[in-house]
Amino acid sequence: MSNVSFHEYSKLDAAQKAALLRRSETDISSFIEKVMPILEAVKTEGDAALARFGRELDKADVSEATLKVTEAEFDAAFSLVEPEVIKAVEYAIRNIRHFHEEQKPEAMWMKEIRPGAYAGDRFTPIQSVALYVPRGKGSFPSVTMMTSVPAVVAGVPNIAIVTPPAPDGSVDAATLVAARLAGVETVYKVGGAQAVAAVAYGTQTIKPAFKIVGPGSPWVVAAKRLLAGVIDTGVPAGPSEGMIFADDTVHGGLAALDLLIEAEHGPDSSAYLVTHSRRVAEEALAALPEHWARMTEQRVKFSREVLTGKCGGIVLTSSDEESYEFVNAYAPEHLEILSKDPFSHLSHITEAAEILMGLHTPVSIANFCLGPNAVLPTSRWARSFGPLSVTDFVKRSSIGYVTASAYPEFAKHAHELALYEGFSSHANAVSPVRDVYLKKGS
């Protein structure tokens, strides 16, 4: 396994360390150029462009008349999906709903800032949201659950899923099952950049949304970037990335097992094992062949490309402190802390979208059914963004209320500041002129 990328962190110079932070879609300039005409076509042609791109780009049997999933297609999906899979979806949705209901902010709060003066926040649902569910390298009912449940919990009245169709023009059956069980029954057979354009501009069939959330390919990332002035593009979620932090209390074979979780998503994924233990690193290398032997051929191909390329492999550090340095610099989407005492490391990790603790919390459990959202910021956006949540589906309004008894003191200070900044109308509104009108109205 000498072809697996192996880096001794303390021996790298600044440029080499910076290269380890690179993701596959960091430079999407080539996609920007390809996406622009797609967006323009959808804007001007609507459904006709969506159907054409579905046939040309997705190689799918779709037409303008079949862009929306029918009730019959939803019903049929439940007979196509194995009962055990449906039970797993139901189990996951219960946990995801429980977590997000706990996360939901109270509808309004107000506190007395000074005697007689109150201020607070009010939260109301975003009125229209689109959920992007990818399909290119697999089917993802898990993404459907992770995006649909918090939107429903938040009370969004208009929720639509956009997802690429299969060659026969169908939508993944488990995705439809997950959507219905989560409480969403508007699904469109549209993917890629054209899907982002459709929900941004609207078409004859698809109503425009105020926001779109969900992970996607570089095509989707490029479209979101170009349309950020038209639609809120939410958490910046691109190709998958995982990092396994392992100390010397664990077996490297376990670290290798979990390293492959995100690596198998596709060749544009990123996956690193970081450890200061050479034993752990060597055990991980030795275990990879037996793990690959249990995987499907396609997933082996994907994960090999990641682990032998520029966006994955093993990073051997000289200490836990150096491992923390790399983790925080990388700001991974998914981070596992593999240790018999994971909480001893937690306070040292400040830059990660998801932190999974201990030997029994692999990314698999979090991705599917633990409860916290698995739609996470990628490409170092974990430095300023968090996971998708109920709060991504509500908007916050500030609330203020000043009573008559509290008004004079506030007016005095506001008047001084308004004059200093040169705003005469601001000043007049809290001057004796207001007092005259207040007396007239009493």
Q: Is position 351 annotated as part of the catalytic site?
A: no
Q: Is position 360 annotated as part of the catalytic site?
A: no
Cα separation of 377 and 392, whole Å?
13
Cα separation of 188 and 196, whole Å?
12
Q: Which residues contact 168 (CB under 8 A, 6 or more apart)?
A: 60, 61
Contact indicator for 158, 209 with CB cutoff of 8 Å: yes
Contact indicator for 158, 129 with CB cutoff of 8 Å: yes
Catalytic residue among 25, 262, 264, 333: 333
Q: Which residue's entry shows tokens 């030795």?
A: 286
Cα separation of 343 and 348, whole Å?
10
Any bridge partners for residue 394, and if so which?
Answer: 125
Contact indicator for 318, 276 with CB cutoff of 8 Å: yes
Query: Helix, strand or coil for residue 131?
Result: strand
Phi first, then psi: give them for residue 370, nearest 5 degrees: -70, -40
What kind and span of H or E run contains 257? helix 252-263
Catalytic residue among 7, 276, 334, 345: 334
Q: Are strands 128-132 and 158-163 parallel, antiparallel or unpaired?
A: parallel
Give the dihedral of Cα atoms 142, 147, 153, 156; nearest 10 deg: -150
Helix, strand, coil percentages in the chain from 3-state DSSP, rounded to 5: 50, 15, 35
DSSP assignment of 394-437, as one string?
Answer: EEEEEEEEE-TTTHHHHHHHHHHHHHHHT-HHHHHHTSHHHHHH
Among 152, 149, 173, CA closest to 163: 173
Q: Any idea which residues carry the catalytic annotation?
A: 333-334
